[in-house]
Structure 1
Amino acid sequence: MTDLPLFLQAFHFLRPLWLLLVPLVLLVWWWVRRPLQRGAMQAEGIAPHLREALTVGRAQRRRLMPIDSTAAILLLGALGAAGPTWSRQPDPFAAQSAPAVIVLAVTPGMEQTDLPPSRLERGKQKIRDFLDLRAGARTALVAYAGTAHVVLPMTEDAQVMVPYLEGLSPEVMPREGAVAGEALSLAAAMLAEETAPGGILFVTDSLDPADVAPLDASSAPLAVLSMRPEGSRDRGLDALSAPVIEATPDPSDIRKLDGLLNAAYRRAQLDDVDQPWEDRAHWLAWPAALLLLLSFRRGWTMRWVGIAGLTLLLTPEGARAEGIADWFLTLDQQGRIAFDNKHYARAGELFVDPLWRGYALYRSGQYDDAALVLDRVETAQAAFLQGMAQIKGRHYRDGVRAFETALARDPDYPGAAENLETAQRIVAYVEAAQAASDTGEDQGIGADEEVYDNESGQGEETLREADGAAEGGLLTAEQWMNTVDTRTEDFLRMRFALEAAQPPQNAGAAAQPHEDDGAAAPAGEAPAPNAPAAEEGGE
């Protein structure tokens, strides 16, 4: 937490009664130190240099005494025992960054090359850096020019967004212009469906003065990444009261934007009474350990350390740890450290606990392996995660069964009923599309290699061909998504043209047909009520 006011507001002690030791330690320190605080020798007629030589203990009073380091260690121990804290324990089943909607201006002005290679390409680079910084967080993408469109709804997989981002250019937009207000409405509508507070990031080089008031009135935290060269000004951006951050060659601008958008999310985390406070006492162990080094003297202490080292070296071969981390941490604890650092593949290799291991495999994209591991755990939480893994792996009917199992184990499990309904709709859509397409021999279009889960046997089970064209020669969004030879920019151009031709009230619904490769993923991953225990073992 980098916000100082928020830190001061949240700081407290979990076990404040231990603070009663602080005055006791100070009293003992003063009582031991007091005899050493004698005044200078009052002896008239003695030369100053002789008086200094005859005074005993004067040098010791100016040195650091053993009682000083002992008192400091005891004080740090008392403060650590009191349990200082200023943040909640992170929920491993929830992203640790706020949901965010990235709004990119795709206008002719963004193609200027004063920010090489161009303002638009530099903006795309910054968006990719933003996605990398927020790995695992829910993020959506909106593009606007004369019309505004949802390019991709909320997703946790940043790699899904990259090809859509690359396909954006002014040529794919139906009309020229800069309707930032309409883009803000789309972004706000998506954030309203999220369970956690989120933010909106505008990536643009200019802003129409008419859009300044709507952006300033946004209820969600909003920030702007200015894609203008240093020293240039824009009337709309200058009038905006929301933070406007200039693009920099290094990632400092992205880190600053992430901190601004996460402010409301961090405050919401502090208000979440279901999550326990995180004990920060271990931070005080390091200065205490450094002070403890002052107490080492030549003698029995060092001999004891040598004997302890020899004991570790002479341990039988079968009991020897493979690494230094194994001396102090269990595999589950090492896996938790890797998981917290977002090294999910490494965490999946380390975890022994099947629930944690399955979730780490899921977060690393190994959906089939995750579903197999989670099958060993008979809890609603495991079944829910297994369902998410099956859906992401395109085993839709298996996902339906997993969500049904989760509800059978816990009818009130958060998110299970909603995701079951979504999974059932996906199965129905796939089977209906396959039944309608049949073999596709009359259409004369080559089938792609995409395989769908179709246990009911409706239509062809292994091949799905592209449907025919819609009225006027235009393909629908689903038809374009299912053709393998279509470039991303062609798909976006046609989809945006269809959306722009629809009535305004239907544009928002038509803008969100897919999250991942032609099939919408479940609405969201509800955090589990209780995180599995992975902290048992050595210290």
Structure 2
Amino acid sequence: MEFEIIKQFHFLRPLFLWLLVPVLVFIYINWRSTEKQQDWMNVLPAHLVSVLRVGESGWSKQLPLKLGLLACFIFIFIIAGPAWHKQASPFGEDAANMIIVVDVSESMLQKDVAPNRLLRAKQKILDILDLRKTGQTGLIVFSGSAHIAMPLTKDQQVFSPLLESISPKVMPREGKFAQYTVPLIENMLKEITSPSTILLLTDGVNEASSMAFSNYLSNSPNQLLILGIGNEKVQADIPYEYQTLKKLASDTGGAFRSISADNDDVEWVVKKAEYNMLISADNTMPWVDSGYPLTFLVALVFLSWFRKGFLVKWCLIIGFTSISMAPAPVQAAQWNFMDLWLTADQQGQLLFEKQQYSEAANTFETTSWKAASYYLAGEYDLAQNYFLREDSLSAKFGAAAALAHQREYVAARAMYQEIVSADPEFPGAQQNAELMQSIIDQIDQFSESQSNNNEDLSSKELGDEPQTSEGSETQVSQEQLIEETLSSEDIMNNEELSEKWMKRVESNLETFLGSKFYYQLEDGNATMEYSSDDKALSE
């Protein structure tokens, strides 16, 4: 924002700046006169100089003159008409569009921010919507695929139930591919002529995502704001990659900040969006003359000029102001001597070769190397997460291996089978799929034999536990499948039935989103990539 102000800054009446010339001439003449007096004083003996001087010496003696010159500079600055933004357009609220892009991958369930990253992101979105008074808002969610959860709309009430239903469970594909959101963003904004704001809420991005956003925004008037979801000061199983997000914001000319416990981050987003709208307004809108508030500074100087002892007052005011405005001490960032000579990936490579895999994983910036390091370090959950941040068969193969080490045999088999379907000749995929199948069969046979021996086995829902086998089928009685049929007249005329029907709709929203996203993935619309060469979408 500060950089944009510098770019837009200019004077509405620049000819008045010529008044600086006589002021500068006066300063020069006064300086030469002072120098001559000083030369005369240097000729006299030191014991006579102290007697001949009347009053104070040095810069303090001419402080009124200096304050007067400062007032002249401010006055000239004011009448020259400083300006850096235009008046708001009366049609500005139609242009204040924002697309919110939310990461719904598994890493967003980390609890370095309470209650977890995803819930905090949802809370921040609702706070932003409450503070935004104008403009349209759209919502895109992504993990292994990207989906439009809500097109651009001015109805902000629809977002609350929608956000409650969004979780990793409704996403049809695992992963963390923010690059698939770029074609959806372009499609949503293709009919919008005014610049819009893209708000990305995530805890990290991969190299492909950074490249996709950079390519799109290099030819787009839209701005990217990144609200990092995580806390770099709190240890988490999947680290918060705030440095990567900061670099993405810098590369795209956008802005980045991490979420805060208060509403400062929410206000930051809304102000950034409003400012982007204002500086992109129609060229016919007049510039705002921003010099008028400075007239009070000139008035304070001249009002105090005739008062006896004003020098002491001004010194006190300037002293207390300087103390109160002194910047707080800034803690130095962590620094490593090796950073002067080697990149993070080069340092990680050295650690990797020394078989210090955990340290290498924390050092690497490249996603694939981080995933491989975590895998060799035995941190298979982290390895799976980072393997799924790349959309390739080799990365999927690594994720399947990590799942197998976590005894997620069914999920590992499914992933190996996907690789075989895509490339039957992929090395090791068919053999590992058969191995997973044999392990599942052995577990099923063991479970069946235990059941035939009438042994009491405690069972529990899988939930977050690893699914080692397929289990047995559950018989559902016909009575459980009977649904109550309600007519529209019954719903409208009966308040109890109306409330019951609304609860049923809300409870089915998660199922609806899951089905919708699944069909979009099957159609190939959720994994399309942005092409900067011909502005086409490639699958």
TM-score using structure 1 length: 0.50
Greater helix percent: which structure?
2
- What's the TM-score once normalised by structure 2's chain length? 0.50
Greater Cα radius of gyration, structure 1 or 2: 2
